[in-house]
Amino acid sequence: MPIWLPSTVTEAPDERIRSWAVFEVCVPEVGERTKHVAGELADCSGRVSSPLVAIDVKSRSVVTRSGRVYHLVGRPGLGLEGEYVWRQWLSINEARDVNDVTSELLQQFAKPKSGNAA
């Protein structure tokens, strides 16, 4: 199955992502731990975000380093396409020390706090 780059942030500044999960990883090339949303868009294509820089608890969305806003809809879970793209992304980026931090984000959604954090 092919993997391709998503449309630019200018073309699609907001995306609704369903069947989602949040992972914290270490990518040697980047040299820091980053968090990413992975999952499926409404068209059933898989997606992995650039690193998260902000979380908006009220709107249940995240903002990425690229500036794209992902609105997290539905329940967590990658789905088949999301799982496939996530596995490919891990391999391509040689990511290590992968931690599923979805439950941490769900806790933030359940107990809204003032301010944003990633």
More confident call, 74 vs 84: 84
Lookup result for tokens 């992995």: 48
Q: What is the pLDDT of residue 46?
A: 93
> Quick check: 112 pLDDT over 80?
no
**Model confidence over 6-33: pLDDT tens digits?**
677 777 769 999 899 999 999 887 788 9
Residue 118 domain-assigned (yes or no): no
43 burial (CB, 10 Å; 0-12 / 13-18 / 19+) is: exposed
- CA dihedral sign of residues 12, 92, 73, 22: negative
pLDDT tens, 20-79? 999 999 988 778 899 999 999 988 899 999 999 999 999 999 999 999 999 999 889 998
Number of domains in the chain: 1
Contact predicate 85/46, CB 8 Å: yes
So what's the pLDDT on residue 116? 58
pLDDT of 55 reads 95
pLDDT at 49: 96
- Which helix (H) or strand (E) segment holds residue 85: the answer is helix 79-92
Question: Is residue 103 situated within a structural domain?
Answer: yes
Q: Using alpha carbons only, what angle is made at residue 89 by residues 45 and 31, rounded to the nearest 5 degrees?
A: 140
E-assigned strands of 42-116?
46-48, 52-56, 61-64, 69-72, 96-100
User: What does the pLDDT read at residue 73?
Assistant: 93
In a domain, 93, yes or no: yes
Q: Is residue 46 assigned to a domain?
A: yes
What average pLDDT does the segment 74-95 reach? 92
Residue 105 lies in a domain: yes
Q: Which of 28, 36, 31 is nearest to 96 (CA)?
A: 28
More confident residue, 25 or 109: 25
Taking the CA atoms of 20, 53, 1 and 43 in sequence, report the sign of the dihedral they define: positive
Q: Which residues constitute the domain of residue 39?
A: 14-110
Residue 115 included in any domain: no
